[in-house]
Amino acid sequence: MIRAFIAVTLAESVIEEIAKIHTLLQEARGDLRWTRIESLHLTLKFLGDIHHHQVEPILGVLRAAVSASPPLRIVAQGLGAFPNLRRPRVLWVGLKGEGLTELSETIETALAPLDFPPEDRAFTPHLTVGRVRSLRGWDNLLTLIKEHENTRFGESMVDRVTLYQSDLRPDGARYTSLGSVSFRHT
């Protein structure tokens, strides 16, 4: 079995800007499990455990669903937490861009015939920067989050979706591409 998800990655320049705030946040010494910078991505659909023989059908469905889509412009801006700053579980960088929600919905609809049920929660585009283990040191982090709640980290042109394999390890998850599908190039 393969633990899999569908995602897009952002431009290296944007990730470099996020890495700067990531370092500041880590220095605040909060009790978080930090996401590795090279692993930052926007998950469009978490698939869970799949069989090897499902990879090609999934890629085929993605090809049919998104190959006519135009590239997307995604802006990375702001810091926040889910479910909120008083009871944080996930620390995130916000993402916005015209067509992002539609892309997520297109993928959800396309995968339904392959027995991947639609997500119950509303799609909220973000990059997970860290997962909160306890509120120890949270006050220091909260100060930084509020200072950067509107900071713009840059924008990316996204022109493909990728099916990833996720290997969970003690030092953090490692992601391997199982295949990508390009959008229409204009």
Give me the catalytic one of 22, 52, 126, 185: 126
Q: What is the pLDDT of residue 185?
A: 67
Q: What is the pLDDT confidence band of residue 186, given thresholds at 50, 70 and 90?
A: low
pLDDT at residue 47 greater than cutoff 80: yes
Give me the catalytic one of 41, 51, 53, 148: 41
Rounded mean pLDDT, 107-136: 94
Could you tell me which of 65, 80, 79, 53 has the C-alpha nearest to residue 6?
65
In this predicted model, which residue has the larger pLDDT, 68 or 42? 42
The amino acid present at 51, given as its one-letter code, is: H
Q: What is the pLDDT of residue 170?
A: 79
pLDDT at residue 184 greater than cutoff 90: no
Tell me, yes or no, if 126 is annotated catalytic: yes
Rounded mean pLDDT, 142-157: 96
What confidence tens digit (pLDDT) does each residue in 80-119 have? 999 999 999 999 999 999 999 999 999 999 999 999 998 9
Could you tell me which of 185, 186, 154, 164 has the C-alpha nearest to residue 74?
154
Please tell me the class of the 2-163 domain: alpha beta
Please provide the average confidence, as pLDDT, over all residues in the chain: 94
Give me 143's structure tokens.
């100060």
Domain ranges across the chain: 2-163
Tell me, yes or no, if 185 is annotated catalytic: no
Q: What is the pLDDT confidence band of residue 172, given thresholds at 50, 70 and 90?
A: confident
Q: What is the 3-state secondary structure (H, E, C) of 60-79?
A: HHHHHHHCCCCCEEEEEEEE
Please count the CA atoms within 13 angstroms of the CA of 47 that sit on its side-chain side: 26
Q: What is the pLDDT confidence band of residue 73, given thresholds at 50, 70 and 90?
A: very high
